Amino acid sequence: MKKLFILLCFLSLSSFAQTAYFFNKKGEKIVMRDDTVEILVVDDRISYAEVGKSWEKYIRFKDLDYAIVGPHYFKSFKLINAKGKSEKETAFFVLAETKERKLLSYTVTVIGKYGSSKYYNIYCIDNNNNILDYVKLNESFVYKGARMKISPMINKHFSDCPEVMSEFSKFEDTDEKHLNVLGFFDSQRYIKCN
């Protein structure tokens, strides 16, 4: 009976493992309750509750270094545009990372009077946060030209990463309107390339 109790305790501990945490710009690590994490792109913040606490807190993207929420890597960046100027600090899901580049994305769903629409912001940056390529679009049929730019962008910057190419191939150009390609950016799962 004692062994059974110890075994049950051990199994219970593993089920409470936390997979959500963030580091703020001060270098402090905060562990979040998995069931409370909400990334609010429109409000530029992450809402959460700490482990063992019930009240909600938040951290603004400008104070965030990065967050890990399950298989997702969310990081704050101050991107540098083609003119060499810094843009407003924004946080993105890092979808893929090589030694030289990162693929960033965030999606916003806008709900209007007649329905909703998803807007995609997709960037490829170097390690100095310089924007190498980007595509901004929504899921509307009129953005076919913008969707057609995604595949060449991924192939150009991540062809040396088999994990990205394998995952991206599941969504690549499988329909006439190129709508399926957006599915790659909906998963927001982080891929670290060797």
Residues 33-64: tens digit of each pLDDT: 988 999 988 889 999 999 988 889 999 999 99
Long-range contacts of 86-89 (CB under 8 A, 24+ apart): 89/61, 89/62
Determine, yes or no, domain membership for 172: yes
Residue with tokens 């060797």: 194
pLDDT at 174: 66
Determine, yes or no, domain membership for 62: yes
pLDDT at 72: 94
pLDDT at 19: 83
pLDDT at 115: 87
pLDDT tens for 63-87 read 999 999 999 999 999 999 989 999 9
pLDDT at 182: 86
Instruction: Look at the chain and report how many structural domains it folds into.
Output: 2
Q: What phi, psi does 5 have (nearest 5°)?
A: -60, -45
Determine, yes or no, domain membership for 192: yes
Q: Which two tokens stand for residue 74?
A: 């969310």
pLDDT at 112: 87
pLDDT at 173: 63
Could you tell me whether strands 90-97 and 191-192 are parallel, antiparallel, or unpaired per DSSP bridges?
A: parallel
Determine, yes or no, domain membership for 110: yes
| Residue 103: strand pairing partners | 96, 124
The segments of the chain whose pLDDT lies below 50 read 1-17
Alpha carbon distance 130, 135 (integer Å): 15
- Domain hosting 23: range is 16-70
Determine, yes or no, domain membership for 85: no
Number of Cα atoms under 13 Å in the Cβ half of residue 6: 3
Q: Are residues 126 and 183 in the same domain?
A: yes
Determine, yes or no, domain membership for 81: no
Q: Are residues 144 and 109 in the same domain?
A: yes
Q: Are residues 139 and 60 in the same domain?
A: no
Among the three residues 70, 105, 135, which one is the final residue of a domain in this structure? 70
CATH code of the domain in which 39 resides: 2.30.30
CB 104 within 8 A of CB 123: yes
Alpha carbon distance 7, 36 (integer Å): 29
Residue with tokens 């399950």: 70
